[in-house]
Amino acid sequence: MFLDLIQQSEICTLLAETAQKMGLETYLVGGFVRDQLLKRPSKDIDVVCVGSGIALAEQVAETIAQRKGYKPQVAFFKNFGTASLVFGDWQVEFVGARKESYSRESRNPIVENGTLEDDQKRRDFTINALAISLNKHNLGALLDPFEGVQDLKRKIIRTPLEPDITFSDDPLRMMRAVRFASQLGFDIEADTFEAIKRNKERISIISQERITDELNKIIRSNPPSYGFKLLFYAELLHIIFPEMVALQGTEMKEGKGHKDNFFHTLQVLDNVAEVSQDLWLRWAAILHDIAKPATKRFSEKVGWTFHGHEEKGAKMTPQIFRKFRLPMGEEMRFVQKLVRLHLRPIALVKETITDSALRRLLFDAGDDIDSLMKLCKADITSKNYAKVQKHLQNFAKVEQKLIDIEERDQLRNFQPVITGELIMEVFGLSPSKEVGIIKTAVREAILDNILNNELEPAYAYMLAEAKKLGLEPLQK
């Protein structure tokens, strides 16, 4: 019973009183009820009534106006019979119970009115089909026709109807099944899972934005690998993200093999997720080896190689972002930079580290050095525990040296004093190869510590470099 919840929550009391005054059969439903039972915080409330959801929303706004002295705006979609309003932190959605499928985003207006149970059975999963009564005669009663409470206890995602029907009503629900499983750590019940496999092709009728939205929720869940494995074994991943599936598999030739880059990528993703909530760092983990299939070669001498996969991966990053309709601005550039640089810190473990190599890395990574180091550390995976520990120890040394050098030289946001504009002005050049050569030479000299990043010595160095190219400064 949820009597306490209704009596103690101002918004629930308001909803119940208004509905009762209108004589309208009304329930709390969906994710809000599920989250109450799971004791998860939730600020979205779904309300279903046997009648007009829009009329109820307007009346609730009226009640709020009487009690609070302000009237919230009611947004409504007449075609769909849905309305919503904001009350404090609460976002409240209203809908009339209907016989046909419940899908807020569906393009087809749904008109046929139904009972509460009609409405519940057209919802996605049993755990989302629970309702709490706001009616006088059974206020606070939990209505659970499909054993949703039991499924919450058993930690199972299951559809209320035959899964083929539920998924054909709205194929996005296949992604939602995986998303809820991954967020809540639940299993997908066998029949439901088989139906996802059977219906997977239908995902193609769903807009990329909605698919990406669910995928990002999976990426944000912990551990994200679980959702990806479900997507992979249901073969949904093959349709929505074939580039990632291409990472899967190992190959043996002349006794030489390579690791399965799909499962390695998932391990890296989980490792990153343990130390950061950042969605884009998680995307960098997903994409760090994405070009391995495209760059894979075999040579008798060294076995399998993936030369240049970091550069090719950086080229693929904007293409993949575009396809997923992910933001193409700084988020994409951040992921691209990490993909491009992901081998650099590890390479420093092997050689005797020179200060200039460390400076170069700091310069190239800039403010993203901490994220890059997190990704790199996460990339150290092996079945051999001792090997991983040894690598991590060596890696810690690189980290320490970076911190020392950073403190000393403050290189993170370093900008060379000699800019391209200055070079063009001094030598009367337009943008050209020569400008780039001089600029790079000055920058490299600073990074190699041959030169201080101060105008006077750097200017002299610039003049000397230009001279090598036969250039003289313009006479003033």
Give me the residues that bind ligand CTP (CB under 6 A), please.
Answer: 30-31, 44, 46, 102-103, 123-124, 128, 170, 172-173, 176
Separation CA 71–CA 104 (nearest Å): 25
102 or 262, CB closer to ligand CTP?
102
SS3 content of the chain, % helix, strand, coil (to 5): 60, 10, 30
206 or 316, CB closer to ligand CTP?
206
Closest CB 61 distance from ligand CTP, rounded Å? 21
Separation CA 452–CA 449 (nearest Å): 7
Rg over alpha carbons for the chain, rounded to the nearest Å, is 30
Closest CB 217 distance from ligand CTP, rounded Å? 7
Closest CB 89 distance from ligand CTP, rounded Å? 14
Separation CA 411–CA 425 (nearest Å): 26
101 or 261, CB closer to ligand CTP?
101
Closest CB 142 distance from ligand CTP, rounded Å? 15
- The residue at minimum Cβ distance from ligand CTP is 31
Closest CB 143 distance from ligand CTP, rounded Å? 13
98 or 123, CB closer to ligand CTP?
123
On whether the CB atoms of residues 359 and 414 are closer than 8 A, the answer is no
State both tokens at 126.
């049993």
147 or 311, CB closer to ligand CTP?
147
Closest CB 212 distance from ligand CTP, rounded Å? 14
Query: What are the φ/ψ torsions at residue 189 (nearest 5 degrees)?
Result: -60, 145
Closest CB 102 distance from ligand CTP, rounded Å? 5
93 or 289, CB closer to ligand CTP?
93
Separation CA 427–CA 463 (nearest Å): 9
Closest CB 123 distance from ligand CTP, rounded Å? 4
Closest CA to 45 of 22, 28, 62, 68: 28
100 or 448, CB closer to ligand CTP?
100
122 or 282, CB closer to ligand CTP?
122
Report DSSP letters for 34-75, one per residue.
HHHHHT----EEEEEESS-HHHHHHHHHHHHHHHHS--PPPE
Closest CA to 307 of 295, 293, 289, 291: 295
Rounded to 10°, the helix 355-365/369-378 angle is: 110
Residue 352, Cβ density class (10 Å: 0-12 exposed, 13-18 middle, ≥19 buried): exposed
174 or 362, CB closer to ligand CTP?
174
Closest CB 98 distance from ligand CTP, rounded Å? 12
CA-to-CA dists, residue 57 to 8, 186, 328, 334, 388, angstroms? 21, 34, 38, 43, 58
State both tokens at 8.
């103690």
State both tokens at 401.
């040296």
- Between CA 134 and CA 145, with CA 139 as vertex, the angle to 5 degrees is 80
